[in-house]
Amino acid sequence: MESQEKFTDTLSYFGTCLSMLCGGTTSLFATYGSSFSEILGFTQYETNMVASLGDYAHYMSAPLFGYLSSRLGPTRIIQAAGVLMFCGYLGLSYAFQYLDAPKPSQKQSHYVASMSLLFALVGVGSKAAYMSSMATTASNFKHSRFSGIALGIPLSLYGLSTFVFSSVKARWFERDPTPSRYLTFMAFISAAAHLLAACFVLLKDTSQLAVAGAARRRAQSAAKSADAQQQQPDQDLPSAASSSEAIEMSETRRRRMTTTNSNDDLPPISDGGVDTAAATDAATGKRRSSLGTVTAAPQITPLAPANNDIAAPAAAREPPIFHRFRKDPTAWVLLLGLICFSGPGLAFVNNCGTMVRAMSHTSTLTEEQVGQYKDKIVATQSFFSFASRLAIGYFSDVWRTRLRLPRSGLLVASALLMIYAQTRAAQITRLDELYPLAVLIGVSMGSVFTLAPTITSETWGANNFGICWGIITLGPAVGGHICNLIFGFSWDEGLLRISARMGPETPQDRIICDNECFVPAFVTTTKIAFLSLFFFTAVLLMPRILVFCNYRRHL
């Protein structure tokens, strides 16, 4: 029986990992994002608007799917994720295939709303898979010593997703003039993977498991005691039947005597129930003996009623998790820290393909080589995000259990790494400098998006993980939207400056952006990253601050 349960749990965990591996594909936008301007005529600001709205849909739907995962279970949510991603990718494929030649009269309406909606479906489906898988893993491993690594492996596969599918694109789809065929492939592979994963993912009922474990331990203890009794001599040990008879007879005699004595002591009962004097004595914890003296009644612990509403008054009930979470200052500083941290990181992740194209004009790379280089940068960022998620999951467990240090200290280190990466991005001058930049961004982003959900699960409980982490992940939506728009605005402003410098008679196809178009954006995002360092430090110090405030309040 235990081996069957272990096999089922293993299949469930593998199903979770499969869902996460095929769910984290929103970052693939960088591999085909430049096609929005090349094929559909989008400006960089409009392209970043599509990316930002997709990020909004991705992160804003987190509380909903966190709640639904705890109410409906992971199976239906993962199935819905596959359907949503299939519709989104297939719609994008159709758009690039049939909307690739806008008429001059339609130049101002570049189907921005339609493309944003389609990419939003991909983002919503990705977040549905993420929240259901993470809520299931957090609940199934909440009593494990290795909760950090248990959460870290699916999270690392979520980061590896972009690496896998960008490598597939570079190998088999790079020569296509449009990303239509590649997006069709993504539609079918996403649907198939999530529908398959939904067949195995299972949320354990921890209460039933605890009862079953206690019953199993009692049975093992009884078996050991029975074996010990069988090893004693027969003449010193009465048989089980005689023992049970003796116990039953003594229990019957005790009940008969107790009943006789208690009947003598009971006061007369009126039509309305127990006598008032008896009720008063019962309320004061005393009873009248047959001698007429008042003695203290034995303290008997009453059985808890089945209805919890009767057991606890409304005033003593614990408030819902949303209200407790909303009033917790730790939640607010963690949310603000994620806004200021993830915004600069997502600005690079969504626009690194555009940066490659801008920096490639000073190189000798062909058009196909530029596309492959772009895919390699995206894959590099994804791979190091995967590696850091896997490593930080294990290291944070050691950091927490053996060194007895708070996990939030690693958040501060990740913020410092993000500040250094943004400073490097603001000083970039060559194409080959994008590789170390992708490594830095990947490591810092992967670390924070492994630490933050683990801290959320430990702070507010695994049972509340879906709702709490869903609310906190609204931070990357806000931060990503702000920094993506900063990048798009900086790019379009740089393009206007270059156009004005070259003169109005210069053909539009000869006006090419370089690092001048995006360096001002990273100067701004560096300042935003400094704010994340402040808020993550506040997360680290918040337990001591709260203890100090409570101490001052009770003085």
pTM more than 0.85:
no
Mean local confidence (pLDDT), 391-400? 80
The answer for residues whose C-beta is within 8 angstroms of residue 96's C-beta and 6 or more apart is: 35, 39, 40, 178, 179, 180, 183
Q: What is the distance between the alpha carbons of residues 136 and 463, in angstroms, rounded to a whole number?
A: 10
Q: What is the distance between the alpha carbons of residues 477 and 120, in angstroms, rounded to a whole number?
A: 12
Q: What is the distance between the alpha carbons of residues 430 and 105, in angstroms, rounded to a whole number?
A: 39
Report pLDDT digits (tens) over 186-200. Answer: 999 999 999 998 888
How many domains is the chain partitioned into structurally? 1
In a domain, 136, yes or no: yes
- Look up residue 540 and give its two tokens: 């680290």
In a domain, 344, yes or no: yes
At residue 459, φ and ψ (nearest 5 deg) are -80, -45
Q: What angle do CA 184, 158, 66 make, to 5 degrees?
A: 100
DSSP 328: -
- Look up residue 386 and give its two tokens: 């995967």
What was the pLDDT predicted at 83? 93
In a domain, 256, yes or no: no
- Burial (CB count within 10 angstroms: exposed 0-12, middle 13-18, buried 19+), residue 454: buried
- Look up residue 210 and give its two tokens: 């605890």
In a domain, 249, yes or no: no
In a domain, 385, yes or no: yes
Q: With contact defined as beta carbons under 8 Å apart, do 411 and 453 qualify?
A: no
Could you tell me how far CA 307 lies from the centroid of its own chain?
Answer: 33
- Region of 461 (left: φ > 0; alpha: ψ -120 to 50; beta: rest) is left
In a domain, 311, yes or no: no
The answer for residues whose C-beta is within 8 angstroms of residue 370's C-beta and 6 or more apart is: 356, 357, 360
Judged by DSSP in three states, 406 sits in: coil
Report pLDDT digits (tens) over 33-56. Answer: 878 877 887 877 788 888 888 877
- Burial (CB count within 10 angstroms: exposed 0-12, middle 13-18, buried 19+), residue 488: buried
* CATH code of the domain in which 107 resides: 1.20.1250.20
Does the structure show a pLDDT above 90 at 142?
A: no
73: containing domain:
11-203+322-553
- Please, which residues bridge with residue 296 across strands? 286
What was the pLDDT predicted at 266? 41
What was the pLDDT predicted at 223? 65
In this predicted model, which residue has the larger pLDDT, 115 or 528?
Answer: 528
In a domain, 471, yes or no: yes
Please choose, from the candidates 531, 537, 496, the residue with its C-alpha nearest in 3D space to the C-alpha of residue 513: 496
pLDDT band of residue 464 (cuts 50, 70, 90) is confident
Mean local confidence (pLDDT), 231-247? 44
pLDDT band of residue 214 (cuts 50, 70, 90) is low
In a domain, 224, yes or no: no
